[in-house]
Amino acid sequence: MLTLLQADSAELLIQEAAAPEKMSLIKMAVAGGWLMIVLLILSIIAIYILGSRWWAIRQAGKLDPHFMANIRELVRAGKTSSAINLCRENSSPIARLIEKGLERQGNPLPDIQAAVENVANIEVAKLEKGLPMLATVAGGAPMIGFLGTVIGMIQAFYNMASAGSNIDITLLSGGIYTAMVTTVGGLFVGIIAYFGYNWLTARINDIVFKMESDTIELMDLLGQAGTSSEFTLDK
């Protein structure tokens, strides 16, 4: 009985020794070479931009759903100053657009619209800050991964050529392994940046559409106020 147990234990030890070593992510990254450091830096940049833009867009989208209704009531009541104060209480791009338009009330509508559009361009530029870099990461990371693939294949064939007639499969597998690791790393970073870029762009487009809609409503409101004698500026 003891002999059988010893035989089973020996067999298990042999199987464990023959079993391939499990590959961790850290070992995989190290095997990719110095290009993995570049991909790591790009991934940090992409995550930072995604986080900061998500927070900025989230803050920009926070606005009282009754904001424009309140502005409309105040302007029609002739309480333009109160409407401006209401805009200043909100830290959203839409509120700043409406504030600029109300501050220009009394000027020709084309001048008001031009001032509002200038503010809108600034607000959109703030929301889009960092997106060009994110798009660069989305396109550049897979290319860097492909560069690692080419370098790994060159290394593999160079090792085979240097070995002469003593060709070993490990000479080829090492270079291919490095090539595949950098390819996976580049694709992983590129996919995150690509989908993140498109998601942020869609969110920004929603805000821009809302800004355009509220701007049109403001122009109509100021046009009505400018042609009616019932509307006077409150002091």
pLDDT on residue 17: 41
CA 173, distance to chain mean position in Å, is 36
pLDDT on residue 147: 85
pLDDT on residue 4: 38
Residue 40 CA to residue 132 CA, distance in Å, equals 19
- Average pLDDT per 10 consecutive residues for the chain, totaling 235 residues: 42 43 56 76 93 89 80 82 84 85 82 86 89 93 86 75 66 68 88 94 90 84 59 38
pLDDT on residue 6: 41
pLDDT on residue 100: 86
Q: CB within 8 A of 127, min separation 6: which ones?
A: 53, 56, 57, 60, 93, 204, 207
Residue 56 CA to residue 124 CA, distance in Å, equals 11
